[in-house]
Amino acid sequence: MNDYSAMFSTPEIRNTHDMKLRFALIVSAVFSAMILSATYSAADVAPIVSPSPSASAVLSFTVRCPFSHTDTVDPIVMPGMKGMSHQHEFFGNTSTNEKSTTQSLLAAPTTCAKGSQFIDGNDHSAYWVPSLYQDGKRIQPTAIYASYTQLSSSSGVASPFQNGFKAVSGLTSQSVQWGCTSVDTQSLVTKTIDDVPTCQAPQHLFARTSFANCWSGLSMDPIDHSSHLENQVKVNGRLQCPPTNPIKVPLLTLNVQYPVATITNAGVSLASGKPATFHADMFQAWTNDGLAQRMRGN
């Protein structure tokens, strides 16, 4: 039995869900090594990703979306199939379920409008990750921080994601990092996806997942849920999108914050299996042309 076999809720659907999710994630190794530093909000104690000097940001903003609900559904990998997925934690849109559509998300409330900082009531997108357990006990996350960054490159200005855009990222050390953060201390970020750090109070555990920022322009949700996004490549010393994925979109980084102050690697597991199976999903839905407005600095 391989490392992915524990990712699924019931034996009869393991093979189907395994094949679909593995293919969706492995084909896209996101170059998140360009993201080297983080700053923090004293109010929210959250990592806000900043790109490195080699991939300088033209514009960046963050939306904080508190935890919404948990369920054994996956509207991207297992649409219409209630109870057929491993358990996920959902943020942002409060209606996300196995039947979610762009229209249903746009019409439903969002947790991204709650709080005092980093709020945006136009962000009705759905974000989700597999449930995390410490010694067999589920740890409910507090919030997800969605950071949208436009990177400088020769590919021009980034186009906003269209409503209905879907993607899955994770399962690699290039796309996922674990870390510890607090108001008064610098973040600790591990180098490999299977290395969950021990966070000492007042630090909090977080998991960071990055999505590639070059779109093919052909599909908003291909069969593998990931190949429509690729990383920028360096050509003659300058970053640009590859010919297969010529359209630059925002670099999306999702930071999940957990409430626990102390957590140890040995006792950590996910609904999808080992820590190395961590991944994140996004289903874009913005009202009032909200994402485009934010990307213009409004």
pLDDT in tens, 191-225: 999 999 888 888 889 999 999 999 999 999 999 99
Query: How much of the chain is helix, strand and coil, in % rounded to 5?
Result: 15, 35, 50
Tens of pLDDT, residue by residue over 179-188, are 998 876 667 7
Q: Mean of the pLDDT values across residues 149-174?
A: 89
Q: List, for residues 103-138, the tens digit of each pLDDT value.
A: 999 999 999 999 878 999 999 999 999 999 999 999
**Three-state secondary-structure class, residue 97:** coil
How many Å apart are CA 71 and CA 91, to the nearest integer?
A: 12
User: Where in the chain are the domains?
Assistant: 5-286
The β-bridge partners of 139 are 132
Buried b (16+ CB within 10 A) or exposed e, 102-111: bebbbebebb
This prediction has a pTM of: 0.83
Percent of the residues in the chain that have a pLDDT greater than 90, as a whole number: 63
Chain centre distance of CA 284: 12
Residue 49: name the closest of 225, 200, 189, 233 by CA.
189
Res. 261 pLDDT band, cuts 50 70 90: low
How many residues appear in the chain? 298
DSSP β-bridge partners for residue 66:
143
